[in-house]
Structure 1
Amino acid sequence: MATINLSANEKKLLRQMYWRSFTLYSSVTPAKQGASGYEYAMLPFINQFYEDAEDKKLAMVRQMSYFNTNLAMAPFVMGITASMEKENAAKSNFNADSINAIKTSLMGPLAGIGDSIFWGVLKAIAAGVAIGLAKSGNFLAPIIFLLIFNIPVQVVRWYGGRLGYTLGSTYISKLYENGLINILTKAASIVGLIMVGAMTSNMVIFKVKWNMMMAGKTILKTQPVLDEIFKGLIPLAITLGCFYLLKKKNISINYLIFGIIILGIVVSLLGIA
């Protein structure tokens, strides 16, 4: 793997990013998740790479896009994002849309990997060791649990950010030189859309309870019929409707949230869902 020598200033920026990344989920909103924490971690790079105030503004808006991944894997994505912001600041023909495309495509798969390794495996191992010590009366059990779990997480966070920045700095320029960046951006956008579609299927739930009755007997179950037509049809329609209102009609996300809550209460009281 090709590597680059990081300057003293870049190492300083990466250290700042590491410490700031702890605030990733300190201010979470349904619409943005960890976006504000992500932008906070990116600010040292933005202030360093961009001299024009308008360019800084655009970069800050760009980094406020939706972001949600495993906390241990986040610095790796941040490192790649920082290297792409550096390229964008240096090259007038850089496709700025590729930055969020790459970020979106990475956060889903890395969330699955990070959750499986750190929450599914490492936490269970740490808990098993700590419980064994606790049963024997060892007062160090909770400390051992925290050490076993947190040391690997912090190692991955520290070196992941540097690895992401190095990979980005090494390969993004080559992709531009070879004309492959547009292909990468399109592929990343497709992966991102797949991830968003999977999230919609898993997180937006609307099961119709109303069935067609005749003489006190159910003659048609609505939900199975809808599933045969298109599985997840109503959740998809609700999601696309919210997207339309948000993007085309400029409806506030807060109004949409309250609207969905009210809709859920109404259909529940009516026995529809």
Structure 2
Amino acid sequence: MESKEQKLTKNDYFIATMRSYFLQNGFNYNTYQGTGYANIIFPGLKKIYKDDQEALKKATIDNLEFYNVNPQTVPFVTSLQLAMLDHGEDVSKIRSIKMALMGPLAGIGDAISQFGVAPLFSTIFASMAIAGITASPIMFLVCMIGFNLFLKCLLGWLGYRMGTSAIEMLSQKINQISRAANIVGVTVISGLAVSFVKAEMAIEYATTIDGEQQVVALQTVFDQILPRLLPGLVTIMVYYLIKKKNWNVYKLLILLFVLGILGSLSGILG
């Protein structure tokens, strides 16, 4: 780990936490929350890279990449990332940790804020409204806003503490943490890809088995050899076009639409 003077103060982390309220403002179907995430940490990046405009530009562009996490838990990631950057940790290893935290924090945040606290407060204040307490809707909003603010500040502080107090531990084990984060990230993304990508062969052929003629679906043969083979191949193709050929999402959508229509009309794809 490179030793360097810290440029960020506690106030900078608090500002980043408050800017997390604007996470969804730049939402798009290309990078999801990428634009909003970069906007959250931009003031911190400016202080860290104030003497190197090219490094600031690169760091900002790098953080425009795809990201999708619960808005209430994102301060933990932003504070942790800024603290590690401020302490001179390797950028690629920080990115691995950032991406690995995306899935777990999305699930935790949804479970707490959307499926836990929101239904609880809704039940309480709906009962109060039925009982004739007219201020119930306002009380519900105040409680929800207050809880979300508390959760954001708490997680922002925890991310800051982990990124500063535990920096020595992280620096000693950063390679193992980074490798584990990469493995988790690849496993999760691969599982999601083959689960959500729908592609099946519609080709069938006739064969004779034990003297009886039977129709065998080619997709069944593929599934016995390697389940979800075709979705995996489609995912690899898309990854190649993005990473090696610099295709954007619009080109990919057009290509996939054309392949899907032609494959369906020709009877190759089901």
Q: TM-score, normalised by structure 1?
A: 0.83
Tell whether 2:162 aligns with 1:167.
yes
- Distance in 2 of aligned mates of 1:141 and 1:191: 44
- Indicate how the Cα distance of structure 1 residues 49 and 230 shifts in structure 2: closer, same or farther if over 3 A, else same: same
Tell whether 2:118 aligns with 1:126.
no
Instruction: Report if the CA contact (8 A) 2:205-2:218 is conserved.
Output: no
- Greater CA drift, 100-109 or 26-35: 26-35
- Distance in 1 of aligned mates of 2:24 and 2:8: 27
SS of 1:30's partner is coil
Amino acid at match of 1:260: L
Who is 2:13 aligned against?
14
Instruction: Report if the CA contact (8 A) 1:211-1:218 is conserved.
Output: no
- Indicate how the Cα distance of structure 1 residues 24 and 266 shifts in structure 2: closer, same or farther if over 3 A, else same: farther
Who is 2:189 aligned against?
196
Who is 1:146 aligned against?
141
Tell me by how many angstroms 1:235 deviates.
1.6
Tell me by how many angstroms 1:138 deviates.
3.8
- Indicate how the Cα distance of structure 1 residues 144 and 201 shifts in structure 2: closer, same or farther if over 3 A, else same: farther
Who is 1:155 aligned against?
150
- Indicate how the Cα distance of structure 1 residues 30 and 228 shifts in structure 2: closer, same or farther if over 3 A, else same: farther
Amino acid at match of 1:245: L
Instruction: Report if the CA contact (8 A) 1:77-1:164 is conserved.
Output: yes
- Greater CA drift, 129-138 or 162-171: 129-138
Who is 2:45 aligned against?
46
Tell me by how many angstroms 1:136 deviates.
3.6
Unaligned runs of 5+ in 1: 1-6, 89-93
Tell whether 2:32 aligns with 1:33.
yes
- Distance in 2 of aligned mates of 1:137 and 1:200: 50
Tell me by how many angstroms 1:83 deviates.
0.6
1:1-273 correspondence to structure 2 within 5 Å: 10-50=9-49, 51-88=51-88, 94-176=89-171, 178=172, 180-208=173-201, 210=202, 212=204, 219-268=215-264, 272-273=269-270
- Indicate how the Cα distance of structure 1 residues 231 and 154 shifts in structure 2: closer, same or farther if over 3 A, else same: farther
- Greater CA drift, 195-204 or 107-116: 195-204
Which structure's CA Rg is the greater one?
A: 2
Q: TM-score, normalised by structure 2?
A: 0.84
- Distance in 2 of aligned mates of 1:218 and 1:18: 64
Amino acid at match of 1:68: N
Tell me by how many angstroms 1:169 deviates.
1.3
Amino acid at match of 2:166: Y
- Indicate how the Cα distance of structure 1 residues 85 and 127 shifts in structure 2: closer, same or farther if over 3 A, else same: same
SS of 1:112's partner is helix
Instruction: Report if the CA contact (8 A) 2:37-2:67 is conserved.
Output: yes
- Distance in 1 of aligned mates of 2:192 and 2:178: 21
Tell me by how many angstroms 1:52 deviates.
1.1
Over the aligned positions, Cα root-mean-square deviation in angstroms equals 2.7
Unaligned runs of 5+ in 2: 1-5, 207-212
